[in-house]
Amino acid sequence: MNEWHHDHLERSRQRYTEELLQFLSIPSVSSLSEHAGDVRRAAHWVVERLGAAGIENAEILEPGGHPCVYGEWLGAGEGKPTVLIYGHFDTQPADPVELWSSPPFEPTIRDGRVYARGSSDNKGNMLVPILAIEALLASQGSLPVNLKLFFEGEEEIGSPFLSAFMEAHKERLACDLVISADGMQSREETPTLVVGWKGLCSMQIDVRGPGVDLHSGIYGGAVQNPIHALAEILSSMRSAEGTILVEGFFDQVAPLTAAERAQFAEFPYDEGEYKRAVRVEGALFGEPGYSTHERAWARPTLEVNGIWGGFQGEGVKTVIPSEAHCKITCRLVPDQDPQQILAVMKAHIEANTPPGVSGSVSLSPATASAYVMPIDHPGNRAAHAVMEEIYGHAPHYIRQGGTLPVCGLFRDLLGVYTVIFAFALEDENAHAPDEFFRLSSFERGQLAYCRILETLGESESL
């Protein structure tokens, strides 16, 4: 084991933190068109940072929507494996901004944590391997493996152009293993290796009633109320106990095996701690017959992400609104086909739209299938060894309810698996106000990335 990179990381600590703050100050929100220029600015920042680290051929590529960034270092030779590192530099929107303790794009350090939108998901995490590579190249002049880096700018909107782009650039992206810097650890001192992600599909429901907002006194009781109609559509999708009632929703679900459930149960679970993490004072809630981790990791879900219609201001406005709207995402598990879910959701909404209004469903083109990786894959074994070394004990194998669409794309288009090797933590308010990233994770990650590249360089086969 070579410790020179360790000295380099120590010496660079303050500069790396400053660079992280600089990167986070770019509001690269991919879902809002007014931030398209900022997403591009972040891409340029990454290209420059790759070049400074010693990565070759760093450049911006154009999948079609927001740009992505590619770079490589292929000097290890043919006897060494080729590893592709993945991450994304776009972020979720920051609203509701008023719930943030400090402005979301003015990164602020408090108690060893960097608060900013994108700090944990994924800019902080994706900067980590770049810094590790710089440390290895600076201290040793070479890398233990051939390396490709691929960072995208549309992960938070479901990577709509990525599939076609990867199809068109198979040669360039070809590798033996992907390591994803997008992902997270459950707890600070309990290492985990994520071996499964849920799939995703999303839609918006628009309910239209009267052609104009009506006085709810004069016309109340005479016409259907679009908000009440939408409430009934949503209510029809779930039993009171939390079981999804959409016909056909579970048709393609691979039942959890006894082995999977036993593996999930091995992961420490403290309900009080979980409730404190999500700040739920009452009971947790979800599909009967499954544990919290089973529901969150490996059962399909249907969540309403937003709803709006009619008067939302101060005081009273006695109106029957012309329209009501909501957004829904479903998270999918093996072997669900996102297109099949969109079809059954659409059919359910149409069949359950009350009389007197029309309901239409806009299906988002961005979908992803669920992804599961074999626990004993050589990539996981290398990650396992590094984690054991760094944390002092072996990692748990878990799944996550989030979606990393690239994992399925790498599997289907390049024929390779993706090791999730990331040091964000589950409590860091990803997608929520006051997102933060621990500087301790930032530093631990840099060391871990040096070590996993060295370990993979020593691997017999990948």
Q: Residue 82 in contact with residue 175, Cβ under 8 Å?
A: yes
CA distance 253 to 257: 12
**C-alpha distance from residue 153 to each of 50, 67, 72, 87, 459 (Å):** 16, 6, 18, 9, 32
SS3 of residue 207 by DSSP:
strand
Q: Residue 459 in contact with residue 81, Cβ under 8 Å?
A: yes
Instruction: Give the contacts of 270 (CB within 8 A, at least 6 positions apart).
Output: none
Binding to its own copies by residue 214, rule CB under 8 A?
yes
CA distance 367 to 215: 40
* Contact set for its own copies, span 364-393 (CB under 8 A): 364, 366
Binding to its own copies by residue 303, rule CB under 8 A?
yes
Least Cβ distance, residue 453 to its own copies (angstroms): 28
Query: How many Å separate Cα 428 from the centre of its chain?
Result: 13
Residue 96 φ/ψ region, left for φ over 0, alpha for ψ in the -120 to 50 degree band, beta for the rest: beta
Candidates 13-21, 36-44, 252-260, 327-335; binding stretch for its own copies (CB under 8 A): 327-335
CA distance 355 to 168: 48
Candidates 1-9, 50-58, 61-69, 397-405; binding stretch for its own copies (CB under 8 A): 397-405
The tokens for 394 are 């072996």
CA distance 111 to 109: 7
Least Cβ distance, residue 155 to its own copies (angstroms): 11
Binding to its own copies by residue 166, rule CB under 8 A?
no
Q: Residue 448 in contact with residue 163, Cβ under 8 Å?
A: no
Q: Which residues of 239-261 are buried (b: 16+ CB within 10 A; e: fewer)?
A: eeeeebebeebeebbeebeeebe
Q: Which is nearer to its own copies, 57 or 239 (CB)?
A: 239
| Residue bearing tokens 């991919």 | 30
Q: By CB under 8 A, name the one of 111, 270, 314, 376 that touches its own copies.
A: 314
Binding to its own copies by residue 299, rule CB under 8 A?
yes
Q: By CB under 8 A, name the one of 234, 363, 385, 390 that touches its own copies.
A: 234
Binding to its own copies by residue 224, rule CB under 8 A?
yes
Candidates 13-21, 30-38, 134-142, 369-377; binding stretch for its own copies (CB under 8 A): 30-38
* Contact set for its own copies, span 400-419 (CB under 8 A): 400-403
Q: Residue 274 in contact with residue 354, Cβ under 8 Å?
A: no
Candidates 19-27, 73-81, 136-144, 315-323; binding stretch for its own copies (CB under 8 A): 315-323
Q: By CB under 8 A, name the one of 77, 141, 211, 392 that touches its own copies.
A: 211
* Contact set for its own copies, span 259-288 (CB under 8 A): 274, 278-287
Candidates 42-50, 80-88, 335-343, 422-430; binding stretch for its own copies (CB under 8 A): 422-430
* Contact set for its own copies, span 170-209 (CB under 8 A): 198, 200, 202, 209
Q: Which is nearer to its own copies, 74 or 234 (CB)?
A: 234
Q: By CB under 8 A, name the one of 32, 60, 138, 256 that touches its own copies.
A: 32
- # residues contacting its own copies (CB under 8 A): 101
Candidates 40-48, 141-149, 348-356, 388-396; binding stretch for its own copies (CB under 8 A): 348-356
Least Cβ distance, residue 253 to its own copies (angstroms): 13
15 exposure class (CB count in 10 Å sphere: 0-12, 13-18, 19+): exposed
